[in-house]
Structure 1
Amino acid sequence: MKFFWIGLVLSLISYNTYAQNTNSYKVSGKVKDRAGDALEGAYVKINGKYFWTSKQGTYDTNLKGGNYEVHVSMIGFRDVDTIIELYKDLVLDFTLTESITGLEEVLLEGHMHKKTSQQVVYVDDEYLEKQFNGSLASSLERMPGFNALQIGSGASKPIIRGLGLNRVAVAENGIKQEGQQWGADHGLEIDALNVENLEIVKGVGSIAYGSDAIGGVVRINNNTIPSEGLSGSIYSFAQSVNNSIGTSAKLSYSENEWFFKAKFTGISFGDYSLPAEAISYLNFNIPIFDEKLKNTAGKELDWYTQAGIVKDDFSTTLSISKVYQKSGFFPGSHGIPDISRVQPDGDLRNIEEPFQRVSHFKVINNTKFFYENGQLDLDLSYQRNHRQEWSLFHTHYGGQEPPKVDPNLELDFDLKTYSTRAIYHHNFNRQNETQVGVDLNWKDNDIGGFNFLLPEYQAGNYAIFGIHEFEPSSKNLWTLGLRFDYGTIDMQGNYDPNLYEFLIRNGQTEELANSYAQRSEGINRDFSSFNARMGWDHTFNERWSSKINIGTAFRLPTAIELGANGIHHGSFRHEQGDPDLEPEQGFMADLNLNYSQDFWNISLSPYAYFFNNYIFLRPTGTFSVLPHSGQLFQYTQSEALLSGIELAVNKEVGRWHFSLAGEYLYNRQITSDRSRNFPLPFTPANNLFTEIGYELFQDSELFKTSEISINNRLVMEQNRIAQGELVTPGHALWGLGWQNEVNLNGFKANINFRVDNLLNERYFNHTSFYRRLQIPEMGRNIQLNIKIPFGS
C-alpha cells in the first residue's frame, strides 16, 4: 500500500500546481453520417472518459473547464480527432465519412447496419489492459452475465449465462478457436494483451458460428488498420499474489495501401498465495506450507505478426501467431494425495511434474472484395493445438511398462484444424441486406502418452447459412437467420491388454474385463441439424429501447463425450463416454430492455433456454473397478431448463461514477423422476458487482485522467449443485483501483494501480478447477500496470 499513498501525495501536489478552473460545463452533441442519419454506438472519448452514442446518435457529459482532446470513431467510418477549450456549455456535433478500410471491423455476423438485434458488449484494448488479471476470461468478469472458469492463477475459460467449455465459441478474425475446449483443467490459448477489439455476444450465436455457440460468442478482432507511420507501445505489469511479471510490446507501421504489425508477450509467475494453512480432501489433511500452493508457477510466451494490403475494392491480411503456455499442477491434484509431494522445495518459480504444456499455432488469411452493392469475405485458416500433460510415470495396475521415449508423458493431444468461411453480403437498398455463407471445418486429433482418456479421431463440419436484415425505419430492425449443418466423426478404437490381464488376475469376469479394456470403440457417425433465429430491435423513444430474440440452438457431441473411458486426473473420477449420444438441440428466448437518460443507463435482460437432450456427466451410483478411480461418471442426455436475468446500471454525476452488474441463474435437469431434477454442473453462483469511482485533477496538465475507485463483488452461496459437486459458501470481496493518464512534456504513460481481495478473504470459486480439492482462491493481490505508447 505504500506505493498507493506515495502516488496519492504526488497527485495532490500536482493538483494544487495545475488546478485552474473549477466550474463544470456540459458537453453534448450528435454523431451522424454524411446523409444526416444518426449513428448509434459511435465511440466518443474525451481524454480518458469514454462512452457510446444513443439510438439517436447523441452523447453528453459534464467536465471542468480546460483543454480536452476529443476522439470519435465508428466501425466503417474514418476517425475524427480534435481539441476543444471548454469555458462554457458546448454543443459539439460530428459528421463521419465512410471508410473502405474501416470495413475490416464490420461485425462478422454480417450486416452493414450500425445496430444489431443481438445483445453485444464491446470491449477495447484499453479496458483489457486496465483490467488484466492473468488471462482473457478472468479479465472480463466485471461484465454482467460473464464468468470465468478458473484454472490456477494464469489460465481460465469463459462462461456466458452459466454455459462454458464447448458451449461458448471464441473466434479471432472470423475463425473459431479450436483446441481441447472440453477440458476444465486448462485455459484458453489467447493472448489477452494482444487483443485489439472484442465483442461478447450473449445468447445463441449458432447461426453465424455453428456448434459450440449455444451460450454466446467471444469475437476478437485483430484486423484494425494502424495509423500512418510507425507507432507502438510497451505494456508491463507486476502482481504480488504470485510474483508475476510480464511485458507486452506492440509495433506497427502503415504507409499508403499496406501495413505491418508485430506483437510479443512474455509472462512469468510463481506459486500463488492463498489464505489457508491446510486443505482436506479424501480424508487426507494436506498442509499448505507458507500459504503458497506448491507447483502452481508458470510462464507464457506469445508472438503475433500481421501484414495487410488495403485498396478501394480489395483488402487482404495474413496473420501468423503462436501462444505457448506452461504451468504446474498442485501435486495433490494428480493421483492420490501425498504429503511428501507438497513439501516446499525452496523455489517458488520452478515448474515440476505434474505440469501441462500447450502451444497454439495459427495462420489466418482474411480477404475482402468490395462491390457496388455488396461485399465478399473469404477467411482461410490453419490451427495446430498441441497440449501435453507430464507426470512421473505411474501405473494403477501391474504389467504396464513405461514408454521408451518420453516415459513421463502422460497425455498428448495434437489437434490440427483446417477452416474455410466464405460470406457474401448484398445490400438491396437501405432497408434490406442479405448475407449467405458456407462454413467448412476439418479436424484431425492424434494422441499419445502412457495414459488414456480421449481416442484419436477425425471430424468434419460443413454448413451453409443465410441472414437477412430488414430495417423499415430508424426505430425497427428485424433479423432472420437460417443454418444447416452436416457433421461427421471417425473415432479410432483402443484396447488395453494390460488392463484386461490385471482385471482377470483380480477375479473379474472376462465380459467385465473386456468392457473396461476396450478403452474406446471404433465409431463412424454423422449428424445433421437445421436451426433458425429471429430478432427484433425496437426503439420506443429517446429513453427506452428493446431487443428480442427467439430461435433454436444446437451442439454436436464431442469426441470426449462419445468415446472417453479413463481416469480424468483433477476430477478424481472415471469418466465414460456414450457412442450413441445425439446432437444437443434447444430453444431459446431472450429480452433486453434498456433505459438511457440524464447520465443513467440501465439494462435488464431476462432469458430462457430449453434443451431436448442436454449432455452432462452423470454419476452412475456404481464404483469403477479401476484402482484409485472412485465413482463411475457417464456422459448422458436429459431434458434441461436454463434461465436467468442480468442487470447492468451505470450512472455519472459530476466527477462521480457508479456501476453495477448483477446476475441470477436458475437451471435444472428435467426427468420423469422429479426427485432427480438436479441443477446442471459448473453453474456460477448468483453474483453482484458494484463500483464507485471519483475523477481527480480534471484541470491538471500532468494527469490528463486520474480516477480512484472502490469495488465489491458479492457472490451468493451456491447450494443448487449437480450430483458430485460441493456446496460453495458465499463471499464478498473488496478491491481498490487508481487509474492515471500521465502527460509530461509530451511523454505519455498510462499507470494503473489495483488491489484485489483487499481483506485477504478466504473463499472458494464454484467453477474453479481446484474447487473439488477444497482449495480456496488466491489471497490479496497488489498489481501495477504501466503502458507507454509511442509514435504516430
Structure 2
Amino acid sequence: MKSFFVTLLLGFSLFSAAQNTVSGTITAANNKPLELVSVAIPELTIETLSDANGKYAINNLPNGNFKLIFTYFGYETQAVTIRLNQKETIVNSTLEESVNHMEEVIVSTAFNKMQSQNVMKVEHSSIRELQQKGAATLIEGLATIPGVSQVSTGTAIGKPVIRGLSGNRVLVYTQGVRLENQQFGEEHGLGLNDSGVESVEVIKGPASLLYGSDALGGVLFFNPEKFAQPNSFSSDFSQKLFSNTNGSNTSFGLKSSSENWKFMARGGYNSHADYKIPGGNRVTNTRFEETDLKTGIGYSNSKFASVLRYNLNNLSLGIPEEIAVQTTKRDPNYPRQGVVSHIVSLHNNFFFKNSKIDADFGYIANNRKEFEDSSIPVLHMDLKTFNYDLKYYLPKFGKLETILGVQGMNQTNKNSGEELLIPDAVTTDIGVLATSNYEWKKNIFQAGIRFDTRKINTETHGIAGSEGYFEAIDKKFNSFNASLGYKTQLMDNLSVRINIASGFRAPNLAELTSNGVHEGSNRYEIGNPDLQNEQNIQTDLNVEYGNSHFEFFANGFYNHINNYIFISPNGTVIEDNNVYDYVQSNAFLYGGEAGIHFHPHPLDWLHFTSSFESVTGKKDNGGFLPLIPANKWSNTLRAEFDFRDWFKKAFTSITVENTFAQNKNSEFETKSGGYALVNASLGGKINLLKLKFDLTLNANNLLDRNYVSHLSRLKSEGIPNTGRNIVAGLNFNL
C-alpha cells in the first residue's frame, strides 16, 4: 500500500505542463489598491496574497474551469469562475465594503459552491471562531453552533448531536476521510484535536447521497489547515491555559511551499486535571492527556495535484464515576481509556481539457484499550478501515454540472482483551452515485440518486447461553436513496432553499451482536441480529434575509425514520445489571433554528446576534426518543474596534445562553431543569514594539452557575457540569 501511495503522489508529475497563469489587480470601489487580499483556487489548494499595489499572480495552473475567490476582512467575498486554456489570464477585481461575515467555499457538498450559491444550507465556522468562545475541546466548540449539541462525559468525552441524532447516525470527516473510531459507544468520544484544523462544515440532515451509510442524521466535515502561500515559509506557536481544570493546550506548527511542492507539520499537547464544579469540588477522574501530530505534503503541476496527510492522536482519559478524592493530578486513574488513532489520507485531482477526476483514499487504524483496575486491558479493540472515493466531473453542458461517483470501505475489527463488546468482524461497503446541478437565472436546482450495499461478517465466540457469546452472522444491507433541492432569490436580499432527501443507516455491530455488560453504560446489553436498515426522509426549508445592517435566518425540518433503532429495558436483571434490548420502531423528529444578526448604522462596530433552536423526537407508537437536546436561546452582544496602533482587530463580547427545561424525556431518562449561563470574551491582535501576537480571554459560566445538562452522562449520578472557567490564549506568528 505504501508504494501505491507514493506512485499516486509522484508518478503523475511527469505529465506535460501548460504553465497557465492567472493575475490581476484588486482595488476598492474608490480605485485604491488593496493589499493582503487572499486570492485562492480552493480546488487546487492554492492561495496567495495581493501586494502593496493590489497585484497578484498564481502560476503553474492546469487547463479547465475553476473558482477564483477574493477574500478580505471588511469586504464582500467575490467568487469568479475562470476558464484557463491559454498562457496568461487577466482577472481584475473590485471589492465592495461590507460588515457582513466573509463567505466561504463549502467543501462538504458535491459542487463546492459559495454558501450563497449552495442549494443545501450548510453551517460553516472557523476553528478560530470556536476557540474565541473559550471551549476546552473541539466538541465543546461545535456545541455552540445552532442545531449542534453534545453527549458529554465530563470534559474529555463528547459525541456530536445534530438535531437530536447522534452516534452512528452522524458521520464525521477529517482530512477528507470518513472517521471510524468505534463510535457506537456512548463513552467513546470524537477523538479529534482542533490543532491543525482550519474550519468545520455542518450538514444538518440526511447526506447519504454524498456519503452513504451513517450520514442519516448529518455530517461534520473538518477542513485541515491550509498550506503556506507559494514560495513562503511560516511558523506559529500557541498556548492556552484553563483555570477550571488547571489545563494547558500547546500547539506549534510550521509550513513551507514552493511553486509545486508544499509541506506542513504541527504538534499539539493537551493536559487537564479533574474539572471543578460550583462550590469548589472536583469530579474525580475527569482528567485527560492528549498528544496530537499532523503533517502533510502536497505536489501540483498543470495536469495533476495531490495532497498526502497524516494524523497521530494519542489520548489517555479517565472514566468518571463519582466525586471522591480531590486532586489536581493529570494522569488518569482506573477505570481509564487509552486510544491511539492513525489517519492517512491521499487526495488527488486529475485535470483534463473540460473535466476532472477526484480520487481520495484513506486509511484509519484505531486502537482502543479500556482498563478497569490494572494495566491489563479488559477491552482491546483494533479497528482498521480503508476507504476510497472516486468522482468524475463531466464536462459542463451549458449551466448543467454533473458528477458520477463510486465510494467504498473495507473494515476489520479484532479483539484481544479479556472481554468482548462486539465480535471480530469484517464490514464492506460499496456505493454508486450520480448528481447534477443546474442554474437558471436566479434559480438553482440540484438532484441526485445513489445505491449502496453493506456486508457484515462476524465470527462465533464464547459459549452459547453465557455472557460474551456471539453467534456468527452474515448480513447484507441494501439501500436506494435520492435527493432534490431548490434555491431561489425571491428578492435581492431574500433567498429560499427547499430540500427533500432520503438517508439510511445499517445497524452497527453493537446493535446486531451485543451480549454482555457495557461497563461504560452500566447495563447488560443484548443485540438483535434481525434488525433492519434505518431509512429516513427529511424535508428542510431555509429562509434567509440580509442587508448591510440586518440579517435573519429560519430553518425548519421534519424527519421521519422507519425502523429507528434504540435500546430499551426489558425488566430483567443479570448480575445486578439491568438488561436492555436493541429494538426498532418508526419515529419522527421536527424542529429548527432561527436567528438574527443586527449591526446598526453608524455603529457598524456593534453586533447583536440571537438564535433559538428546538427539536422534538418521538416514536410513532408513543413516547419520546432518548438523547434529545433541550430547547436553547442564545444572545450575544459583540463590539469590534481598533485601539490605536498596538491593539488591532479587537473584540469584546458577552453571551447569555438560556437552556430550557427538558420535559420530553424517554422512559429511561429523567427530566432536566432549565438554566442560564453567562460567557464573556476579549481579544485582538497586539503589536508592542517588534512583538506581535493574538490574545484571547474568555470567562465561561462567568457566574459559576450550578447546572446539569440533559445530555450529560453524569446526570444519573447527580454530578453537575463544569463551573466557572477562565481561558487565556496567546498565538505567535514566528
| Structure 1 and Structure 2 fold alike (TM over 0.5) | yes
CA contact (8 A) 1:145 1:662 kept: no
Residue identity matched to 2:216? I
Residue identity matched to 2:241? A
1:322 equivalent to 2:289? Answer no
| CA displacement at 1:320 relative to structure 2 | 1.3
Return the alpha-carbon distance in structure 2 between the equivalents of residues 78 and 386 of structure 1. 36
The SS at the match of 1:127 is helix
Residue identity matched to 1:645? G
Structure 1 residues 94 and 300: alpha-carbon distance in aligned structure 2, compared to 1, 3 A threshold: closer
Return the alpha-carbon distance in structure 1 between the equivalents of residues 250 and 173 of structure 2. 24
Structure 1 residues 201 and 517: alpha-carbon distance in aligned structure 2, compared to 1, 3 A threshold: closer
1:646 equivalent to 2:593? Answer yes
CA contact (8 A) 1:489 1:523 kept: yes
1:638-679 C-alpha deviation (Å, 9 max, x unpaired) = 0101011101211112121111121011110012xxxxx111
Return the alpha-carbon distance in structure 2 between the equivalents of residues 94 and 381 of structure 1. 33
Q: Which runs of 5+ in 1 are unaligned?
A: 1-33, 37-43, 47-58, 61-65, 277-289, 333-338, 394-405, 497-513, 672-676
CA contact (8 A) 1:619 1:723 kept: no
| CA displacement at 1:134 relative to structure 2 | 2.4
The SS at the match of 1:166 is helix
The SS at the match of 2:510 is helix
CA contact (8 A) 1:565 1:577 kept: yes
Structure 1 residues 71 and 142: alpha-carbon distance in aligned structure 2, compared to 1, 3 A threshold: farther
Determine the structure 2 residue equivalent to 1:295.
285
| CA displacement at 1:189 relative to structure 2 | 1.5
Residue identity matched to 1:636? V
Determine the structure 2 residue equivalent to 1:628.
576
1:707-738 C-alpha deviation (Å, 9 max, x unpaired) = 22111110011111112111111110011111
Return the alpha-carbon distance in structure 2 between the equivalents of residues 643 and 725 of structure 1. 20
1:208 equivalent to 2:190? Answer no
Q: 1:305 aligns with which of 287, 295, 314?
A: 295
| CA displacement at 1:82 relative to structure 2 | 6.6
1:427 equivalent to 2:395? Answer yes
Q: 2:37 aligns with which of 56, 71, 91?
A: 71
Return the alpha-carbon distance in structure 1 between the equivalents of residues 307 and 225 of structure 2. 8
| CA displacement at 1:230 relative to structure 2 | 0.8
The SS at the match of 1:139 is helix
Residue identity matched to 1:600? F
CA RMSD of aligned residues (A): 2.8
Structure 1 residues 126 and 69: alpha-carbon distance in aligned structure 2, compared to 1, 3 A threshold: farther
Determine the structure 2 residue equivalent to 1:781.
725
The SS at the match of 2:456 is strand
- Size of the aligned set, in residue pairs, is 664
Determine the structure 1 residue equivalent to 2:648.
704
1:376 equivalent to 2:380? Answer no
| CA displacement at 1:96 relative to structure 2 | 5.5
Q: Which moved more, 1:369-378 or 1:750-759?
A: 369-378
Return the alpha-carbon distance in structure 2 between the equivalents of residues 412 and 91 of structure 1. 53
Determine the structure 2 residue equivalent to 1:761.
705
Q: 1:535 aligns with which of 472, 482, 485?
A: 485
1:556-597 C-alpha deviation (Å, 9 max, x unpaired) = 100000001111223221111100001101111000000111
Return the alpha-carbon distance in structure 2 between the equivalents of residues 318 and 155 of structure 1. 29
| CA displacement at 1:746 relative to structure 2 | 4.9
Determine the structure 2 residue equivalent to 1:572.
522
1:693 equivalent to 2:635? Answer no
Return the alpha-carbon distance in structure 1 between the equivalents of residues 599 and 49 of structure 2. 25
Return the alpha-carbon distance in structure 2 between the equivalents of residues 416 and 45 of structure 1. 51
Q: Which moved more, 1:478-487 or 1:109-118?
A: 109-118
Q: 1:453 aligns with which of 421, 426, 434?
A: 421
| CA displacement at 1:151 relative to structure 2 | 2.3
The SS at the match of 1:128 is helix
| CA displacement at 1:694 relative to structure 2 | 1.9
1:252 equivalent to 2:220? Answer no
Determine the structure 1 residue equivalent to 2:617.
667
Residue identity matched to 2:181? G
Residue identity matched to 1:522? A
Return the alpha-carbon distance in structure 2 between the equivalents of residues 35 and 476 of structure 1. 31
CA contact (8 A) 1:687 1:713 kept: yes
Determine the structure 1 residue equivalent to 2:13.
none
The SS at the match of 1:519 is coil
Return the alpha-carbon distance in structure 1 between the equivalents of residues 145 and 465 of structure 2. 46
TM-score with structure 1 setting the length:
0.80
Determine the structure 2 residue equivalent to 1:391.
372
| CA displacement at 1:537 relative to structure 2 | 1.2
| CA displacement at 1:470 relative to structure 2 | 0.8
Structure 1 residues 351 and 35: alpha-carbon distance in aligned structure 2, compared to 1, 3 A threshold: closer
Alignment of 1:296-695 (within 5 A): 296-332=286-322, 342-344=324-326, 346-392=327-373, 408-473=376-441, 475-496=442-463, 515-517=465-467, 519-620=469-570, 622-624=571-573, 626-630=574-578, 632-653=579-600, 654=603, 655-671=605-621, 677-695=622-640
Residue identity matched to 2:364? Q
CA contact (8 A) 1:143 1:661 kept: no
1:232-288 C-alpha deviation (Å, 9 max, x unpaired) = 211110001100011111110001100100010001111110126xxxxxxxxxxxx
CA contact (8 A) 2:337 2:370 kept: yes
Residue identity matched to 1:240? S
1:89-128 C-alpha deviation (Å, 9 max, x unpaired) = x99997858599xxx9772533254322111122224223
Return the alpha-carbon distance in structure 1 between the equivalents of residues 356 and 34 of structure 2. 38
1:165-200 C-alpha deviation (Å, 9 max, x unpaired) = 111111123221111111111211211121023211
Residue identity matched to 2:632? N
| CA displacement at 1:130 relative to structure 2 | 2.1
Return the alpha-carbon distance in structure 1 between the equivalents of residues 608 and 501 of structure 2. 35
Residue identity matched to 1:133? A
| CA displacement at 1:81 relative to structure 2 | 4.1
Residue identity matched to 2:188? H
Alignment of 1:103-114 (within 5 A): 107-111=107-111, 113-114=113-114
Structure 1 residues 111 and 68: alpha-carbon distance in aligned structure 2, compared to 1, 3 A threshold: closer
Determine the structure 1 residue equivalent to 2:8.
none
Alignment of 1:729-748 (within 5 A): 729-748=673-692
Return the alpha-carbon distance in structure 2 between the equivalents of residues 113 and 93 of structure 1. 13
CA contact (8 A) 1:128 1:193 kept: no
CA contact (8 A) 2:227 2:263 kept: no
| CA displacement at 1:148 relative to structure 2 | 1.7
CA contact (8 A) 1:131 1:140 kept: no
Structure 1 residues 205 and 582: alpha-carbon distance in aligned structure 2, compared to 1, 3 A threshold: same
CA contact (8 A) 2:105 2:112 kept: no
Return the alpha-carbon distance in structure 1 between the equivalents of residues 83 and 465 of structure 2. 63
| CA displacement at 1:778 relative to structure 2 | 0.7
Structure 1 residues 93 and 123: alpha-carbon distance in aligned structure 2, compared to 1, 3 A threshold: closer
Residue identity matched to 2:175? N
Return the alpha-carbon distance in structure 2 between the equivalents of residues 649 and 448 of structure 1. 53
| CA displacement at 1:463 relative to structure 2 | 0.6
Alignment of 1:197-236 (within 5 A): 197-222=199-224, 224-228=226-230, 229-236=232-239
Structure 1 residues 93 and 515: alpha-carbon distance in aligned structure 2, compared to 1, 3 A threshold: closer
| CA displacement at 1:766 relative to structure 2 | 1.2
The structure number with the bigger radius of gyration is 1
1:173 equivalent to 2:155? Answer no
From the two aligned structures, give the one with the greater helix fraction: 1
Residue identity matched to 2:142? L
CA contact (8 A) 1:144 1:648 kept: no
CA contact (8 A) 2:513 2:526 kept: yes
TM-score with structure 2 setting the length:
0.86
Q: 1:270 aligns with which of 269, 273, 279?
A: 273
Q: Which moved more, 1:685-694 or 1:698-707?
A: 698-707
CA contact (8 A) 1:416 1:443 kept: yes
